[in-house]
Amino acid sequence: MKVELLNSTYEAGKMCAIAASLCYSSVDIDKVSKRFKRNDEIKKILRKVVLAGHYSVLEHASFTFGVESVSRSLLAQLTRHRIASFSVQSQRYVKFSNDIEFIIPDAIKKNKSFLKKYSDILKKIRLLYKEFLDAGILAEDARYILPLASPTKLIITMNARELRHFFSLRCCNRSQSEIRSMACSMLDIVRKKVPELFFNAGPRCVRKKCKEVSPCGKPWVKVMV
């Protein structure tokens, strides 16, 4: 899996700080904007905003990620997050090569017997897929035999508010391992990029009591301060 930040709102923290300040100010927008010249001022107001749960102002900052070598199973989970934009590699127009590397879940990797059975089935799928293409069957029809383990690549754009919601669900220890790994990588990236927006982001348990019916009972990563 590869996750990288491709683009983000210029001075994302400052933009959100301006929006937050404007909500409680009677002065003109340009004067509010000029107020934030120092990083410590931006961090101070954003920390106050985030801790107060005034998340609407975070919608003015967006982040675009490039993700590669993830499964179609992950994609099915990811696209349930509606306030986001996705561009995904097409199985209709992109023909997979015979050496396509399917995604293998960690739980199966750890079991040698299951791993062999898993690999054997995927090998047969590779060969049959190639046979279809060689026979002139279009990729858009040959793809019907491709499993959820098929690799894909995509571009994701979310604003800071939706990212925090995404992290609260998908960074949780109870989330499926592949999407959890991706979400944690994304969180690590934006924390370094704009720590004032994501210092306490992550699963709900880093801020409040866990609401899961069956909590995992395990500590999560330390919250940045």
Residue 127: per-residue pLDDT:
95
Handedness of CA 13, 19, 20, 22 (dihedral sign): positive
Residue 26: per-residue pLDDT:
62
Residue 24: per-residue pLDDT:
77
Q: Which of 11, 43, 2 is nearest to 186 (CA)?
A: 2
Q: Divide the 225 residues of the chain into consecutive groups of 10 and give the mean pLDDT of each group.
A: 97 92 73 71 91 95 98 96 95 90 94 96 96 96 96 98 97 94 97 95 90 82 51
Q: Is 170 a catalytic residue?
A: yes
β-bridge partners, 68: 2
Residue 221: per-residue pLDDT:
64
Both tokens assigned to 136: 């002139």
Both tokens assigned to 172: 């949780």
Measured distance CA(160)–CA(163) in Å, rounded:
5
Query: DSSP per residue over 103-143, as a string?
Result: ---HHHHT-HHHHHHHHHHHHHHHHHHHHHHHTT--HHHHG
The helix or strand, by DSSP H or E, that contains position 184, with its residue range, turns out to be helix 177-193
Residue 98: per-residue pLDDT:
81
Both tokens assigned to 73: 């199973």
Asked whether the beta carbons of 52 and 42 are under 8 A apart, the reply is no
Active-site option among 126, 170, 180, 191: 170
Residue 225: per-residue pLDDT:
42
* Residue 121: half-sphere exposure toward Cβ, Cα within 13 Å: 13
Asked whether the beta carbons of 215 and 207 are under 8 A apart, the reply is no
Q: Which domains are seen in the chain, by residue range?
A: 2-71+152-206 (3.30.1360.170), 92-149 (no CATH)
